Structure formats: structure tokens, C-alpha cells
Amino acid sequence: MKYKRILLKLSGEALMGGSQYGIDPNRLKQYTEEIRAVKDQGVEIAIVIGGGNIFRGVQAEGSGIERVQGDYMGMLATVINGMALQSALESAGLYTRLMSGIKMEQVCEPFIRRRAIRHLEKGRIVIFGAGIGNPYFTTDSTASLRAIEIQADVVLKGTRVDGVYTADPEKDATATRYNELSFQEAYEKNLNIMDMTAFTLSQENILPIIVLDMNKPGNLASIMEGEMAGTLIK
């Protein structure tokens, strides 16, 4: 295995599947199978999931909800997604722990770094919900920060496209994919991979990021085996 401990970042929108909002059970099942295939290879897995399929903090201001309040609502949305993913993984026979940046003891454990690492060492999949517990920070930033805290080897950002392109491949047919990029090149080319906070955190802590298509079966396992099925930023 190329990586021993990974942090997988999934967007909330990805869970919608073909729907306009909510959680698509088929997509959840697909992700569970992808994660189980990697887990069976002995990889330690942590997951950060967004909440955009339920509520996005940044959309709150347009509807008259204060930004901070909206961000907390978005954090709670990530916990709902985390619970759904936890149920799906446990139905497949995997052991999981859901840890939250906001205390809610009846639902999940509070995030304690040493405990999270211990869960990973014991073979449990750890899902981080509620961001870092503070407004103004995206789930991308949460993914970078938690990956650094648990000493993950890499952040895998699961998207709808199979890497980073010179232009939007859904709009521009001539767009070509980068196999590998440095953080500096990504800055200079103004490539919108993650928000700047997440990106800077990763760069300063020498944490590589791989952007991959999470909807293509077997992609995650291929990357674990060292194949370049996405774009590596390091």
C-alpha cells in the first residue's frame, strides 16, 4: 500500500446523487463499497464530509440568516451526513466512530485528537462531523486540519471529475488533466482546488492532496495501490 493512513474528503453535494437535495441511498451504498475495498487492504481511514446537500453556511446570508448562525447550521448538516455514512458503513460490517467538533454526546463523541488516533490504530473508520466547531471555516479546511492532527499521509478529495484540469472539463472540451502539480503551480495558475486556508495548511505541513473522481468504481483502491487515477498536489 502506498498510503497507510488517509483522510477522505467527500462533498455533501456528492451524496445527492441524481437528486436536487438530501441523501441518495444508492450513492451512499457505492461509497461504502469503495471505502470497504480500501479498508480490506489494511488502510486506516478518516473521513470528513460536507453538508451542502442539506444546508450551506454561505447561502444563509442571502436568506436573511446571519453568517455565523448559517455556518453552525451547515455544521449540523455535516453531522446528519456523517450519521448516514456511519449507518451505511456499519451495515456493511465496518467499525466506525463519529466525532464532532461541537459537543452532542447523545449522537457522537467529541473530537479528541489522541482518541481519534487510537480509533484509527484499532481499525475503526473515524468520521469527523461539525467541521472544526468554528464558523468561517469550510469542510476543506477541516479536512486539512484533521489530516495534519491525525498525521495522515494524504488528503483525498473526492469530486465528480477525475482530477484537476486546465479548465472546467464540463464546459471546455479542450481542457487537459494535470497528473501532478506543486502547491506553488496551483497558486500561480489560480486553480480552484480547495479554499486558501485549507490549501495553505496543507502546503505548510507538507501534506499532499489527491483530487479524484469518487463516482468511478475502483478509483479509490487504484490510488491506494499507487496508480495515478487523479491529480497529486504536493
75-111 per-position pLDDT tens digit? 999 999 999 999 999 999 999 999 999 999 999 999 9
| Of residues 106, 46, 112, 54, the one with CA closest to residue 80 | 54
What's the CATH superfamily of 5-233? Acetylglutamate kinase-like (3.40.1160.10)
Residue 96 has a pLDDT of 98
pLDDT tens profile 133-175: 999 999 999 999 999 999 999 999 998 888 999 888 778 888 8
How far is Cα 213 from Cα 158, in angstroms, rounded to an integer? 6
For residue 16, give the C-alpha cell.
Answer: 445527492
Q: Round the average pLDDT of the chain to a whole number and report it.
A: 93
Runs of H (alpha helix) within the chain: 25-39, 67-91, 113-121, 139-149, 183-188, 196-204, 219-224
Kind of pairing, strands 154-159 and 125-129? unpaired
Residue 131 has a pLDDT of 95
Distance set, CA 114 to CA 13, 50, 79, 134, 187 (Å) = 30, 23, 21, 20, 33
How far is Cα 10 from Cα 27, in angstroms, rounded to an integer? 12
Angle at 180 between CA 179 and CA 182, to 5 degrees: 160
pLDDT tens profile 176-197: 999 999 999 998 988 888 989 9
Indicate the DSSP class of residue 223. Answer: H
Proportion of the chain above pLDDT 90, given as a percent: 79
Question: Is pLDDT of 8 > 90?
Answer: yes
Q: Considering the entire predicted model, what is its pTM?
A: 0.95
Burial class (CB in 10 A: 0-12, 13-18, 19+), 226: exposed
Side chain identity at 108, as an amino acid letter? C
Residue 19 has a pLDDT of 84
